[in-house]
Amino acid sequence: MAPNDMTTSSPRLLLNAEPFGFGPAAAIAGFFPHLRPHFDAIGYVGKRHTLDLQRSLTYDAIHDVSEMGKEERAEVLAPIFAQYDVFLSAMDHKMVELAKKAGLKVFYYDALTWYWPEIPASVRTADLYMGQNFFGVEERLHEIFREKSHAHAVSPIVSKVKPTQNKQHILINLGGLQNPFWPVEEITAFASKIIDAIKSAPPQEEKIIIASSCAISECLKDRGVKTYSRAEMETLLAESKLAFMTPGLGNIYDAAAYNIPTIWLPPANDSQGQQLKLLQQNVMCDQALDWHDFMNGDSVNYKAVQTDVLKTIAALAKTLVTDDDIQNRLGKVITQKYETLKDRHDSQTQALIKRFGTGGEKQVADLVTQYSRITPLEDGPAG
């Protein structure tokens, strides 16, 4: 069947996630089970850590383009795109542009609609745009897309959770540390110091589970760090009595859905820092740790240019790794925050669920299934 000839069988769907942080890849892995029954063929194309959560899923093909350079994108991707009709990306607008040029329908899931200073034209003119709801998202969609029917706000990418009394462990979730401006070996060294500081806070008899991406867990497997599938993470979240997590939006919504008292770790990028501020401003934050809490008075302006923010954070982390005094301060601050939260049974973040709902994974899958079978949009400005 040639691309876009969808009359005799279901369209062939290709999924993708931006290789920045862990959230986009986690979202795609969350959508997959809801998409699988509706498509005869589903593939994934991506690189590096975005593949971690996909490999355990029943894709018909996984296209690993980790070695692809910018100058060879079109050549490498052309034969892959030719095998599919519809392209769904979580936040990789460059891949959306290339898929559109290759003649595919293009759908875009955006976890950070609230955050972007500007949404690229290639995203605004996608055949389907889905923005995860958060503070200011519905207003932003109305402003940018006006009455265009292809733009939708979807609920957070978490399911409705039944409360459980089976709380067994403390969870450390380090997903979301990786970005292109921070070498993996430096991230790993930083993660190791964070783990040391956290482990010094609770009593030794407490069981601690540590989750991260494959690159970090491979380097720190002797510390008990592992990469878990989404299904495994859901079980771990349900059994967590308290958590230390990076403040990515996926982690924030997990804490909210599973009602886990959470100490947020120092933001690893600009959006994490801004999200943490929004939680604090809306009284939805249990405890948070920021860089100025333990560094030598150094703070981060999370609204500065992204590349500058990322370089600043990488430099601060590098200093932490080599400075015993800073490490001691970090340990003391974490212990103080743990002591204030250790007997708490509810999380202030759960107010997010009351405000924005749950079930976004199925909403996205339903929209993707619906829009895969309707006429593509004409190219042109949106909003």
Q: Which residues contact 364 (CB under 8 A, 6 or more apart)?
A: 31, 34, 109, 130, 154, 157
Looking at the structure, tell me whether residues 140 and 285 fall in a common domain.
no
Residue ranges making up the domain that contains 297: 169-356
User: Measured between alpha carbons, how far is 39 from 36 in angstroms, rounded to an integer?
Assistant: 6
- Please tell me whether residues 363 and 343 are part of one structural domain: no
Looking at the fold, whether 325 and 364 belong to one and the same domain comes out as: no
pLDDT of residue 298: 78
Report the CATH number that the domain containing residue 190 is assigned in CATH: 3.40.50
pLDDT < 50: residue spans in the chain: 1-8, 377-383
Same domain, 177 and 132: no
Clarify whether residues 141 and 44 are in a common domain: yes
What's the pTM?
0.85
The predicted pLDDT at position 179 comes to 80
Query: How many domains does the chain divide into?
Result: 2
Judgement on whether residues 327 and 185 belong to the same structural domain of the protein: yes
* 127/30 same-domain check: yes
Which of 244, 279, 268, 258 minimizes the C-alpha distance to 23?
268
**383 assigned to some structural domain:** no
Phi, psi of 101 (to 5 degrees): -65, -30
Is the domain of 363 the same as that of 349? no
- Tell me: do 26 and 79 sit in the same domain: yes
Same domain, residue pair 305 and 365: no
The answer to whether 128 touches 367, Cβ cutoff 8 Å, is yes
Within a domain: 8 = no
5 domain-assigned: no
Considering the domain architecture, whether residues 28 and 50 belong to the same structural domain is answered as: yes
- 190 and 79 within one domain: no
